[in-house]
Amino acid sequence: MLHDDHPWVGREVEDTASGRRGILRAVAPEGDPPRAVAWLRPAGGGTEWTTAVSALANPALIKPETHPKEKR
């Protein structure tokens, strides 16, 4: 896939466009011409939504139990 790296993938972030918070799942190109789009889902599960990467803000602090690379 053509996913872009983003330092907040796996962390809960704010979507300033909608006012919602969710887990950043991926950043991937979409549309024509392609532009980077952020994919989020609610922390408790549910329907994913998209937003502009520029609308991402206020990432949750990384703790040992929430570190995205930590596999438990």
Domain around 40: 1-54
Residue 16 domain flag: yes
Residue 37 domain flag: yes
Q: pLDDT digit string (tens) for 19-56?
A: 999 999 999 999 899 899 999 999 999 999 999 999 99
Which of 27, 23, 22 lies closest to 54 in space, CA to CA? 27
- Residue 40 CB: number of other CB atoms within 10 A? 23
State the total domains in the chain: 1
Give the pLDDT band (50/70/90) at residue 3: confident
DSSP string, 2-70: -PBP-TTTTSEEEETTTTEEEEEEEEEEETTTTEEEEEEE-TT----EEEEGGGEE-PPPP-GGG-TT-
Residue 20 domain flag: yes
Residue 65 domain flag: no
Residue 1 domain flag: yes
